[in-house]
Structure 1
Amino acid sequence: MNSATNGPAPAGRRPVIGVCARTAPVTLQGSDMVVALALQSHVTFLSEAGCTPLLIPLLPGAEELTGRLDGLLVPGGPDLDPALYGQEAHPATRAMSPEADRVELSLVGRAFDAEIPVLAICRGMQLLNVLHGGTLHQHLSDVTGHDGHRPRTPSFTLGRRPLKLLPGSRIAGILDEDGPETACHHHQAVDRLGAGLAATGWAEDGTVEAVEATGRSFAVGVQWECGQTADRRLHHALAQAAAGA
């Protein structure tokens, strides 16, 4: 497996991509329980790109696994504890899990220390910003005046917003299309950008939709819900980075 100095996966071995687990209550065969899970699409997209996904529950000591990883995917999830960036909770901030937040911050921080490729999605991008000393808008509609980033509908609906990408950025190279748009579902977003991060994508209302860590081969955060659509390009880019391609 990979060492703390990082490097491409050895020839002949499938790169191992850690996927941070989320917890959720479910009813299975009539029994209520809480499970650790990942979106099947994350698992499928990484597997079909030639990787072995590894679910990482957010328990103390999770950061010790980074020496066995070739890449890390940090998915969407609940709101971060605002105390992590020096704020009181907004009335709309909810479903926080401070202990899991701190474990995930430690895990991602260790991945950065080891220069492991990282793809951070939605909450993952927000955590990446907080890790680097940034802050968040806790309720985006207070800033934008609309709910287009998280439509208020009876069922889960993705907000489709025009996306402006920084020419020459990694994210622009991955998407490489005219008229890109987000497929998002978030009510929080980057406020003050963290040190060492560069904004490389924006919605038409100025909301930061993509960030990249400067001086890193692959450390990308996107605010939209890749994994909730059929678009595999970001997952495949992470897989290529993990393989050293």
Structure 2
Amino acid sequence: MANRPVIGILTSLERARWSVWDQQAALTPTNYLDAIRAAGGMALMIAPDPVLTQDPHEALDLVDGLILAGGNDIDPALYGAERHPETQETMAERDAFELAVTRAAMERDLPYLGICRGMQLLNIASGGTLRQHLPEEFGHHEHRKAIGTFDGADHDVRLAPGSLAARAAGEELHGTKSHHHQGIGRVGKGLVVSGWATKDELPEAIESRDHAFVLGVQWHPEADEGSRLIAALVDEARAYRHARVEAQTGVAGGAATPARAT
């Protein structure tokens, strides 16, 4: 168990109440952590940090894979758009931190899974844009039927044959749980769309053409006990860990603290 791959998961910053306290807190829903552990990984929560925003590698040296989780809307100024009235609760500190970490992770070819907001962040980090309010464009609320729950939010996504998304999901027609009102607009440089909602062809998976495992999905695999996506990331992180430890030590399976990638 000491050799579990370490999966960094970036936290949100939210007002929270517990016991007698009501304070700002760094939060991650425990179903993400449960899914990482169930797949044989160790979860390491990484909160927004101004120093890491300047040099994310200090944190990335500690991990073998990365998850960017769901959460609040992203400031549209980051992709050159005016704010839509339905774009709410943006958080500048989290946006800047996650953009810096995403770009640094891609430089290192670190296994990366962006979930919902994390997929959108990946697209923006690569120069892409977002659709800010899907019901206005598509005329329905099927991607987020009820605020704060996945009840009734199941829908199928068609995954491109042979794509990373299809390999990670283990199938080309994948049942998903969604909770989003925004989506991918212009696709970022170096990314390709590899999944589409069957109900309206909205892009629901993107992946890098230039990296071993950089994947964004619009749905929430952490909310689906039958999903293989987080396990696929953990498997890739395990191989990444073994390869870089071996490169440093010259011994297959040797134990050492991996050095910063160059």
Same fold flag (TM > 0.5): yes
Report what 2:141 is aligned to.
147
> Of the candidates 95, 98, 105, which is equivalent to residue 111 of structure 1?
105
- Between the aligned partners of 1:130 and 1:231, the Cα distance in structure 2 is 29
- Between the aligned partners of 2:224 and 2:13, the Cα distance in structure 1 is 21
- Look up the equivalent residue of 1:230 and give its one-letter code: E
Report what 1:156 is aligned to.
149
- Between the aligned partners of 2:111 and 2:173, the Cα distance in structure 1 is 27
Please tell me whether the aligned partners of residues 45 and 232 of structure 1 are also in contact (alpha carbons under 8 angstroms). Answer: no
Deviations 1:129-187 (A, max 9, x none): 00000000000111111000011x37523522221110111111222336422210000
Report what 2:60 is aligned to.
66
- Look up the equivalent residue of 2:237 and give its one-letter code: A
Change (3 A) 1:16 1:88: same
Please tell me whether the aligned partners of residues 39 and 227 of structure 1 are also in contact (alpha carbons under 8 angstroms). Answer: no
- Between the aligned partners of 1:144 and 1:182, the Cα distance in structure 2 is 19
- Between the aligned partners of 1:193 and 1:231, the Cα distance in structure 2 is 29
- Between the aligned partners of 1:195 and 1:178, the Cα distance in structure 2 is 24
Once the two structures are TM-superposed, the CA of residue 90 in structure 1 deviates from its matched residue by 0.3
> Secondary structure in 1 aligned to 2:127?
coil
Greater fraction of residues in helix: 2
> Of the candidates 117, 120, 142, which is equivalent to residue 123 of structure 1?
117
Report what 2:215 is aligned to.
220
Query: Does the alignment pair 1:29 with 2:29?
Result: no
Query: Does the alignment pair 1:39 with 2:29?
Result: yes
- Look up the equivalent residue of 1:163 and give its one-letter code: V
Please tell me whether the aligned partners of residues 19 and 56 of structure 1 are also in contact (alpha carbons under 8 angstroms). Answer: yes
Change (3 A) 1:12 1:99: closer
What is the root-mean-square deviation in Å for CA atoms of aligned residues? 1.7
- TM-score, normalised on structure 1? 0.90
> Secondary structure in 2 aligned to 1:244?
helix
Question: What is the percentage of aligned positions where both structures have the same residue?
Answer: 38
Using CA pairs under 8 Å that are at least 6 residues apart, name the structure with larger relative contact order, 1 or 2: 1
Deviations 1:13-36 (A, max 9, x none): 221111000122222113212211
Query: Does the alignment pair 1:15 with 2:5?
Result: yes
Segment drifting more, 118-127 vs 231-240: 231-240
Please tell me whether the aligned partners of residues 161 and 172 of structure 2 are also in contact (alpha carbons under 8 angstroms). Answer: no
The aligned length equals 234
Report what 2:201 is aligned to.
206
- Look up the equivalent residue of 1:231 and give its one-letter code: G
Once the two structures are TM-superposed, the CA of residue 229 in structure 1 deviates from its matched residue by 2.3
Deviations 1:8-64 (A, max 9, x none): xxx962211110001222221132122112121211221222222110001112312
- Between the aligned partners of 2:90 and 2:34, the Cα distance in structure 1 is 28
Which segments of 5 or more consecutive residues in structure 1 lack a partner in the other structure?
1-10
Report what 2:260 is aligned to.
none
Change (3 A) 1:173 1:154: closer
Change (3 A) 1:138 1:161: same
Please tell me whether the aligned partners of residues 163 and 180 of structure 1 are also in contact (alpha carbons under 8 angstroms). Answer: yes
Q: Residues 159-174 of structure 1 correspond to what in structure 2 (within 5 A)?
A: 159-174=153-168
- Between the aligned partners of 2:112 and 2:195, the Cα distance in structure 1 is 17
The structure 1 segments of at least 4 consecutive aligned residues displaced by more than 6 Å after TM superposition are none
